[in-house]
Structure 1
Amino acid sequence: MASWDRYFGGGQRGKVPVDELHFDRNNPRFTPDKQPKSNTDVAIIEYLDRTADLGELVQSIAASGYVDIEPLIVIDRNDELIVLEGNRRLGALKVLRDPKIAEASNVAVPELSDEIKKTLQEVSAFLVHHEDEARNLIGFKHINGPQGWDAYAKALYASNWLDDELKKGDGGLSLTDIAARMGDKHDTLYRIVSAIYVLQQAEAAEIFRVEDRVKKNFHFSHLYTALTYSEYRDFLGLDKADRTANPPKNPVPPENLDRLQRILVWLYGKKSENRQPAIRTQAPDLSNLKKVLGNQVARRIMMERNDLFEALQMTVEGGDRFSKALVDAQSSLRTAVTEVVNADDDEETISIAEDVRTRANFILRSLIAHKAASSE
């Protein structure tokens, strides 16, 4: 019998001293790109203050006391009561109860009256025996509520839930059922869970790790948006999405894993090899890469040189490429003309100017000759 059993009296609801409650250090909200610096209470509180407006909740409780209406959802792990739902509230309570934690986590706490302090001693909790129970109880509020999760955290949570349901066989929930319990649109959940499965396949094959991305933030939307385009899906050899079924695990054919690696590096870079991502911003780069993948010549250049700008030029018709290049050159020359008073008069600069003149004369002669030939 655990030491805290007496708080529940053999049932599932009870009043529990705050000191008996512990953070969920496996919180699915802690994704590889957004997580506490360590597993300590102070680090988790710092994270909550940074990402979930913990300070605002602290000020509210300090002013009005802890309003004990909705119970925290807890589970027994190794004889400890772990808070599955309500970690933000637990963080606020820990800060308000312990000045040392407040100081270490740099959360401002106003002076508390004795009446307010009395509300911070114990809180209502609902004990679940398996995380399945918690999922059904948490549902919409925990994921899409006032402190809603980002798409990556939501996708990880939903995919883990679906994986557990699949283990149950025919009696398990489908992704459609899970979407209803989460208060989310099925199409949205299908897209992000599908992207998680692609990402997990890459990590299992050791061809990509989220931690090895170049940018600090992990822009998960790059991947799940890309996978809605036929050009990306065709490049990876993905079947057409069947939203009447659960998204498949390991959806990329084994022979296309090298292409999956290319896509992920183009999207996120590879820090360990100092390879920068081709996608600087989702708009317009994601669409530009889509155009490249849909053009055989451009796709080959992208695969050989990893240069999105150069590959993109191949998606433009030859005449259009020439016109664009000529207009761009004219624009650059106009700038050079205005800045010529600041130019160096060394041999290299003069040589560049002579080269520009030679090329410009060649273009002019070619255009005149072409026009004359056309008029004959």
Structure 2
Amino acid sequence: MAKLITAKLTDLDFDPLNPRLPSHLQNQNDDEVLKYLLLECNLIELMLSIGQQNFFIGEPLLVVPTKGKRYIVVEGNRRLGALKMLQKETPPPALSGQVKQAREAAQFFPVDIPALQFENRDEILTYLGYRHITGIKEWDALAKARYLKQLRQRHGEDHAEAHKSLAREIGSKAAHVAKLLTGLTLIENAKDSGLLDRIKMREDDIPFSLLTTGIGYPNICKFIGISNSADVDAENLKPDEFEEFFKWVFDKSHGSHTKLGDSRHFDKLNRVVANDQALDELRRGATLEAADLYTSGPLEALRILLKEAEDRITKAQSTLSIADGMDISDVAQSERIRRTAIALHSSINSLVNPVE
């Protein structure tokens, strides 16, 4: 049973398992956590709000007791960060100018903080599911997945039953729970294998919902070595193919766009990875759109390319009347096109009408 207490700010500690924190920051010291909250979580805005209006007693922190009469804040870490930064004796690890301005504008500097004390962390976790997964303060997809992984430890080995139970706890569906957990497994694999380092990204840089969308396609699952989007353990993951998929979807190191582009093109990638010739084209550097042409077979791809070439030449012809300033290089390029077209016609004609 929870009870309302008033805790000293100096006795409150960040949650080392906070689902909103990147994994590399979990169990880190206060300076590292505060730096992240300042740079990534709009802590200055919250400092200004608390400093002007005081801490809202109607929304206490949720805490569990720990050693030495201290408390871990399981719910309210962002507010805890703002409270700590309002104290003038706490040196800011980032944005020192903005922190100073927020302190100067503050009228309140709370140190006696209302909190609901629970006996253990598990009592709070279910509440957090409703609040942050289906409730009014929704977490992003990656934070949801981290939270679900913590909840998962309370259930048995049967994944299907565990996912059903988790879904009931948080007011969601078992398939969605499974997909989030599988996506988290893949993110952790990318981190542990060094793949994230190779594409110069952090796990929180990854659009996690894009990953979970991708594993909703059966050919993509088969290609990377998972049975479906509920294959949480991913025991048969193919390292090379998974790295290819991951780079196609997320790597921008060779330009401003990824090979995939956006989630609307997953249907094309789903076709391409199931077709050997199309996959070879993609691996050789073709765009996803170009590789997708081969999923209908080489003949259909050729016909589409011929139609596109004809359309472009026709459009170029119609643009001649308004294109001023053409020079000898344009004449040379049109000559190369003419020769290529003649050679192409000759090759097709010899295949259709072979000389006996």
Shorter-normalised TM-score: what interval? Answer: 0.7 to 0.9
1:85 aligns with 2:66: no
**What amino acid does structure 1 have at the position aligned with 2:242?**
L
- Closer, same or farther in 2 for the Cα pair 1:219/1:64, shift >3 Å? closer
**What amino acid does structure 2 have at the position aligned with 1:266?**
W
Match of 1:30 among 21, 38, 53: 21
- How far, CA to CA, are the matches of 1:341 and 1:57 in structure 2? 59
- The residue that corresponds to 2:210 in the other structure is 222
Match of 2:63 among 74, 92, 96: 74
| TM-score of the pair, normalised by structure 1 | 0.72
- The residue that corresponds to 1:278 in the other structure is 259
1:238 aligns with 2:226: yes
- How far, CA to CA, are the matches of 1:336 and 1:78 in structure 2? 81
- How far, CA to CA, are the matches of 1:280 and 1:198 in structure 2? 20
- The residue that corresponds to 2:52 in the other structure is 63
- How far, CA to CA, are the matches of 2:286 and 2:119 in structure 1? 51
- The residue that corresponds to 2:85 in the other structure is 95
1:253 aligns with 2:236: yes
- How far, CA to CA, are the matches of 1:215 and 1:202 in structure 2? 10
1:266 aligns with 2:231: no
CA RMSD of aligned residues (A): 4.0
Q: Deviations over 1:89-146 (max 9, x none)?
A: 2122223333765772724426444xx45xx121122344543233124332244444
Identity across the alignment (%) = 23
Cα distance, 1:262 vs structure 2 = 2.0
Q: Deviations over 1:58-103 (max 9, x none)?
A: 3333333222233322245564532121112212222333376577
| TM-score of the pair, normalised by structure 2 | 0.76
Match of 2:5 among 5, 8, 14: 14
Cα distance, 1:150 vs structure 2 = 0.9
Gaps in structure 1 of 5+ consecutive residues? 1-10, 242-246
Cα distance, 1:51 vs structure 2 = 4.3
- Closer, same or farther in 2 for the Cα pair 1:335/1:212, shift >3 Å? farther
Q: Which moved more, 1:65-74 or 1:48-57?
A: 48-57
- The residue that corresponds to 2:141 in the other structure is 151
- How far, CA to CA, are the matches of 2:341 and 2:161 in structure 1? 68
- How far, CA to CA, are the matches of 2:143 and 2:240 in structure 1? 27
Residues 138-217 of structure 1: pairs in structure 2 closer than 5 A:
138-162=128-152, 164-166=153-155, 174-201=162-189, 206=193, 209-214=195-200, 217=205
**How many pairs does the alignment contain?**
337
Contact 2:48 2:106 in 1 (8 A): no
- How far, CA to CA, are the matches of 1:235 and 1:57 in structure 2? 45
**What amino acid does structure 2 have at the position aligned with 1:73?**
L
- Closer, same or farther in 2 for the Cα pair 1:92/1:200, shift >3 Å? closer
Contact 1:210 1:218 in 2 (8 A): no
1:106 aligns with 2:98: yes
- Closer, same or farther in 2 for the Cα pair 1:105/1:333, shift >3 Å? farther
Gaps in structure 2 of 5+ consecutive residues? none
Contact 2:146 2:184 in 1 (8 A): yes
Contact 2:190 2:196 in 1 (8 A): no
**What amino acid does structure 2 have at the position aligned with 1:15?**
T
SS at match of 1:314: helix
Contact 1:197 1:248 in 2 (8 A): no
Contact 2:272 2:295 in 1 (8 A): yes
**What amino acid does structure 2 have at the position aligned with 1:328?**
R
- How far, CA to CA, are the matches of 1:240 and 1:188 in structure 2? 12
